[in-house]
Amino acid sequence: MVALTIVARSPESHQAWDDLTVPPGGEDDLPTQELMDKLRARTDKSSHIVARASSIQDIRNILAQVTPRPELIQIAGHGLVGALELGGMWIHKLGLRPEKNKTYALDDNPNNYGILAGLVAPSAHVLLLGCRVGTPSSAPTQINDGPTFVFRLARLWRSNVSAPSEFFTTDSYNNAGLFVDTHSMLVTASGLTVTMPTKPSSPATPALAQPNQFSEQVHFERLIAAPALRYSLNASAQREPAIHEPLTLTSLARAPMKGVFAAAELIFEATWGGGKWIGEVLGHGALVRMRQGNTTEHLVPDHDTRERIRAIVHQLSGSTHYY
C-alpha cells in the first residue's frame, strides 16, 4: 500500500513540495514540528510519501504528480468544525499577507475544493487530520458542519473520507507518522452514508491529559484576529475586528499537554502571570492556547468562563446562536 501524507506549512516557505528539511526559522508551530520529526524518521520512505502544502492549489499539484495513486492520503493541519487550515494558520498567527488566487484552508466550498476532482483513486481512504474537523455544527448560524464536509469530499472523489471529531495531539500518530484512531473519534463518509464516532464528542476528550485543578487568570487586552468569523452567516469574510473591550477570564485550569492540531477561532493580545502573551480561543472555548515566543501553554476554562468566551463571538458575529 502506498500512503501519502500532506502536512500544512507556512506560505513563507518556498521550498519544493517534497523538500522535508526544516524551513528557515523553524516550523513556528509545535505540533507541526513534532509530526514532521516523526515523518522524517520514518523507515518506509518508498511506500510512505510525505509532502508539504500551504494551499489547496499546492495539494492539487501534489496529487497530480504522485504515482501510483496512494491508497491512504493524510492531509494534516490545524482544524476547526468543518474546515482544515493549511497555510491560513500561519497567516493569522504571523500576520502574513496572503497571495491572490490561493486558498489557504480546505472547507466545504466547492468553488475551492472543486480543483481536486479526479485526483484521488476511488479505492483510497482520505483522512482530514485537524482537531474537530468532523464535529457537527451546533447551531443554524454556523455554516460549516463536519459531517457535511467529509460527505461532500467523499462524493467528489467517490472514496472514503474521515475526519476527527475531538482534539488530538501528535500522540495520535504512530512512529511512522500514520494516524491511529485509538479514541474512536473519526467521522467517516462512504457512498451515501456518514458514520459517526462510537464515543460521543465532548470537551473533556480522552485525547487530552486531565488539567491541574487550580485557578488561572488571563486578561484579554485586545482582539487582533477572528479567523472563525468567516464561517458565520452574520459576519463578512473580511471582517477582522481590531479592538475589543478588555476581558478578564478566571477559573482556568492549566492542562499538562502537548500542542493540539486546533485552529484558533479568536486571537487576542493578552497578559498572563505578569507577562505579555498571545491568547487563542479553540474549540468553541473548550481550550485557550497561550503563546509567548517558543512557549505554549493550554488552559481549560470552567463552564461559566467558557460561556463568557462564547458571548464574545456572539457579539462579534451579530448572533446569539453562533455556536
Asked if 9 contacts 78 with a C-beta cutoff of 8 angstroms, the reply is: no
Residues 233 and 148 in one domain: no
**CA dihedral of 65, 48, 125, 138, whole degrees rounded to 10:** -100
In this prediction, residue 230 carries a pLDDT of 60
In this prediction, residue 8 carries a pLDDT of 96
In this prediction, residue 300 carries a pLDDT of 87
In this prediction, residue 214 carries a pLDDT of 58
**Complete edge-to-edge strand list for the sheet that includes strand 72-76:** 48-53, 3-8, 72-76, 125-129, 160-164, 186-190, 193-195
Residues 145 and 285 in one domain: no
Residues 306 and 241 in one domain: yes
Q: Which amino acid is at 34?
A: E
The three cell numbers locating residue 247: 476581558
Is 205 domain-assigned? no
Alpha-carbon gap, residue 81 to 238, rounded angstroms: 19
The three cell numbers locating residue 241: 475586528
Residues 68 and 180 in one domain: yes
Alpha-carbon gap, residue 198 to 243, rounded angstroms: 42
Is 261 domain-assigned? yes
Asked if 138 contacts 147 with a C-beta cutoff of 8 angstroms, the reply is: no
Cα–Cα–Cα angle for 200, 205, 211, rounded to 5 degrees: 150
Asked if 65 contacts 114 with a C-beta cutoff of 8 angstroms, the reply is: no
In this prediction, residue 15 carries a pLDDT of 87
User: What tens-digit pLDDT sequence spans the chain (323 residues)?
Assistant: 899 999 999 998 888 999 999 888 788 888 999 999 999 999 999 999 999 999 999 999 999 999 999 999 999 999 989 999 999 888 877 777 778 889 999 998 999 999 999 999 999 999 999 999 999 976 555 677 899 999 999 999 999 999 999 999 999 999 999 999 888 899 999 999 999 987 654 444 444 555 565 567 888 888 887 776 665 444 443 444 444 456 788 778 887 777 899 998 888 899 998 899 999 988 878 889 998 887 888 888 888 888 887 777 666 654 433 23
SS3 letters for 239-295? Answer: CCCCCCCCEEEEEEEEECCCCCCECCCEEEEEEECCEEEEEEEEHHHCEEEEEECCE
- In angstroms, the first-to-last Cα distance of the chain is 40
Is 32 domain-assigned? yes
In this prediction, residue 139 carries a pLDDT of 59
Provide the number of structural domains found in the chain: 2
Residues 158 and 260 in one domain: no
Alpha-carbon distance values, 111 to 116, 236, 317 (Å): 10, 17, 24
In this prediction, residue 235 carries a pLDDT of 42
Alpha-carbon gap, residue 188 to 206, rounded angstroms: 20
Is 200 domain-assigned? no
190: CB partners within 8 A, 6+ apart: 154, 160
Residues 15 and 139 in one domain: yes
**Complete edge-to-edge strand list for the sheet that includes strand 83-85:** 78-80, 83-85, 105-107
Question: Where are the extended beta strands (E) located within the chain?
Answer: 3-8, 48-53, 72-76, 78-80, 83-85, 105-107, 125-129, 160-164, 186-190, 193-195, 216-225, 247-255, 266-272, 275-282, 287-292, 295-301
Residues 23 and 154 in one domain: yes
Burial class (CB in 10 A: 0-12, 13-18, 19+), 135: buried
Domain that holds residue 62: 3-195
Q: Is the whole model's pTM more than 0.75, yes or no? A: yes
Domain termination site, one of 195, 226, 249: 195
